[in-house]
Each structure stands twice: as structure tokens, then as C-alpha cells.
A = this chain, B = another copy of it.
């Protein structure tokens, strides 16, 4: 694939926001256009999971282009909860095709204005219709995965809580995060039960927010070196294992192959932690740790901010927040900031290779993106 670079990134603050979705995306765009005159932007790629139902608005790509005062072609891209990664990949392919030199990828979601049961109902539509018919919700299926993993690999409940504790610590250092406060293990372990054994602090929150990235074929600081995208069956009951996500493994293989890199080359990673168990599984699927050993690596501090391989320095979906369509692109913004040395209090020293991994639906359409400091 032809070379593609990132030349500017921005984010809105994540959280409970009063602004409209177009206004949140505008806020993110303002940060992204610092290094580029907006007249060079030839097309806009817009990621949003379900603005039709969250905010009663369709034709979202044209709505956003209009709000950004960019009278240029636009595409809306959607792949459930990995939408933010998908929009980055589609934009990168458009630039690599030579059809465009410089494009903007934006992603956002506005959710907090709706009552939680309504949000849960909309979110559950991404599940297999077959399994949804039996009342499956995302937390219920994630709880099933958690139970299975805890049983097979003797993972302790306390270890899961460490994921949330680490995320909240990192979030406390991120001015864009939904939650910017430390949380004690005791509080996590005693929080309200959502779906046994997952408690409130094991689940990413409902958030509003947006992210923006400018991509270009002109040489810039950070290069896209690997784009991986992998799929799996829609229904969980058709998979041979619930304790790993083959869609991530396939996406990772594709990205590492394209980049000619190994898991050991990665200096910092953002992974999809919609539920605490996912972070542990993700770090195994990405080849950072052997299956069943992700929890132990976490306990030893390997994935902490000062560990060998810091994971979710932004606070992850858990603490940075999870406006579904935006999260995958927000991960890429965090990696960009880490590689350009702009991550402030959560900076990983000397990071040169970063990875973002995003899960679509219940791990049926996953993305892995590898970025590297340009040589």
C-alpha cells in the first residue's frame, strides 16, 4: 500500500456533554486542523454508529461536512462499536488509492441525553438477531465470556478490578477523559452488579464525544504502517471458543505482516476495553502475552503507565469514555499523541511504534492499526 501519514489529530472532551453531535465533531476538528489549512481537505470520512436513533438524524456525513464548512465529498462509515477505527481505515485506503491527497476522518456519538434503558436497547441491536431474540444484551454476553475465562484460566475477580483501577489512574492524567478520578479497588469490587460477575466499574460508561484525524500522502511525522481488519461469526454460539477473539487475531496478523513488525516491537497500545475482561483477552489476542497470562501480566504491572508495554494510557473506554462510534478513532488520536510526544502526564518515553485495536459488535468485525514515527 502507498504511504499514508497522520498530520493532525484532535478530540472533544469526552463525558456528559450538552453540545450537539455536529458541535462535538467541530470541537474535535479544531484540534486536528492546527497543522493543515482546511482548504487542502478534499474529502471527509464520518464515523457514527447510530445517529439515526441516538439523535434522530440521518445523512450524517453531509450534516457534518456542512457543520465543518467543508463543501467536499463525504462518506459515512459504520461497523458497530469499531466504527471509529473503520472510518480511519477507509480514509487511509482512499488516500493510498491516490484518489485523494489529504482527507479528514472524524467520528462521534451523542448518547447521554437518552435514558440508559433506551441506550442499552439501541446498543443491543448490534448483536446477532438470532441471539438477541433470546434477550441477549452486550453486558450479558460479556459476562458469559468473563465467567468462562475466569473458570478456565483461574482468573481472580480482583485481577479484573485492576484493569478498571489502572484505567481510572490513566484517565486521571488525561484532560479529555470522561472520568478523571482515581478509583479504589474496594469501590470497584463493591460497585453495583450489572451482569454477574461484571459490576458497574467493569463496564465502559455511556459517553458523548468526538475525535478527528487528518490523513495525507504528503510526508509527515507519523506514518500508518499496518492496517488489519478481521471478522468472525455474528453469533457467539457458532464460535469454537469464547475466551479469545479470532477477529482480533486475524486483524493483528494482517497489520503486523503489512508493517513487518512483531508484537514485541509495540511500545504503547490502546485496546478495546468495553468490559474489563476484554482488555485481558485483547492483550493476548494481539500477541503481547500468551493465552491465560494476560491477567498475571497486568498484576505484575507490565501494562501500567511505567511498565514494559503501557496499555490504554488514555484511560481506555473505561475511563476516557465510550461514545461508541468515536472510540476507535480516539484510540488513534491517543497513539498519535504518544508518538509525537504530546501525551503530557501520561507520556510513554521514547514511544516509536503504537497500536490501536477496536472491537466491532461482540468481536465480529475488529481492527488493528499500527502507527510508527516516520524515519
Residues of A at the B interface (CB closer than 8 Å) are 1-2, 43, 49-50, 52-53, 56-63, 65-66, 71-80, 86, 89-90, 92-99, 122, 125-129, 227, 229-235, 251, 360-361, 364-365
A62-B231, A63-B234, A92-B97 known; 13 other A-B pairs, CB under 8 Å? A1-B98, A49-B58, A56-B125, A58-B80, A65-B365, A66-B234, A71-B232, A71-B233, A73-B365, A74-B79, A75-B89, A93-B97, A96-B98
Q: Does the CB pair A129–B63 fall under 8 Å? A: yes
What residues on B are CB-neighbors of A50 within 8 Å? Answer: 52, 58
Rounded to whole Å, the gap between the CB of A50 and the closest CB of chain B is: 6
Rounded to whole Å, the gap between the CB of A107 and the closest CB of chain B is: 14
What residues on B are CB-neighbors of A98 within 8 Å? Answer: 1-2, 96
Q: Does the CB pair A73–B231 fall under 8 Å? A: yes
In the bound complex, CA of A364 to CA of B71 (Å): 9
Rounded to whole Å, the gap between the CB of A46 and the closest CB of chain B is: 9
Q: Does the CB pair B234–A61 fall under 8 Å? A: no
What residues on B are CB-neighbors of A72 within 8 Å? Answer: 231
What residues on B are CB-neighbors of A66 within 8 Å? Answer: 128, 233-235, 364
Q: Does the CB pair A125–B52 fall under 8 Å? A: yes
What residues on B are CB-neighbors of A92 within 8 Å? Answer: 97
With both beta carbons as reference points, the residue of chain B lying nearest to A125 in the complex is identified as: B58
In the bound complex, CA of A90 to CA of B63 (Å): 19
With both beta carbons as reference points, the residue of chain B lying nearest to A49 in the complex is identified as: B58
With both beta carbons as reference points, the residue of chain B lying nearest to A123 in the complex is identified as: B58
What residues on B are CB-neighbors of A365 within 8 Å? Answer: 59, 61-62, 65, 73-74
In the bound complex, CA of A89 to CA of B1 (Å): 18
Q: Does the CB pair B73–A75 fall under 8 Å? A: no
Rounded to whole Å, the gap between the CB of A365 and the closest CB of chain B is: 5
Q: Does the CB pair A76–B73 fall under 8 Å? A: no
In the bound complex, CA of A27 to CA of B234 (Å): 20
Rounded to whole Å, the gap between the CB of A215 and the closest CB of chain B is: 12
In the bound complex, CA of A56 to CA of B277 (Å): 29
Q: Does the CB pair B75–A59 fall under 8 Å? A: no
What residues on B are CB-neighbors of A80 within 8 Å? Answer: 58-59, 62
Given contacts A43-B229, A62-B361, A232-B71, contact A97 B2 (CB under 8 A): yes
What residues on B are CB-neighbors of A99 within 8 Å? Answer: 1, 93, 96, 227
What residues on B are CB-neighbors of A360 within 8 Å? Answer: 59, 62
In the bound complex, CA of A117 to CA of B233 (Å): 36
Rounded to whole Å, the gap between the CB of A227 and the closest CB of chain B is: 6
> Among A2, A61, A127, which residue has the most Cβ atoms of chain B within 10 A?
A61
With both beta carbons as reference points, the residue of chain B lying nearest to A63 in the complex is identified as: B234
With both beta carbons as reference points, the residue of chain B lying nearest to A81 in the complex is identified as: B59
Q: Does the CB pair A231–B129 fall under 8 Å? A: no
What residues on B are CB-neighbors of A129 within 8 Å? Answer: 57, 63
What residues on B are CB-neighbors of A125 within 8 Å? Answer: 52, 56-59
With both beta carbons as reference points, the residue of chain B lying nearest to A94 in the complex is identified as: B93
With both beta carbons as reference points, the residue of chain B lying nearest to A228 in the complex is identified as: B73
In the bound complex, CA of A71 to CA of B238 (Å): 12
What residues on B are CB-neighbors of A89 within 8 Å? Answer: 75
In the bound complex, CA of A274 to CA of B227 (Å): 38
Rounded to whole Å, the gap between the CB of A242 and the closest CB of chain B is: 17
In the bound complex, CA of A229 to CA of B62 (Å): 12
The residue from B49, B97, B231, B364 contacting A1, defined by CB atoms under 8 A apart: B97
With both beta carbons as reference points, the residue of chain B lying nearest to A69 in the complex is identified as: B233
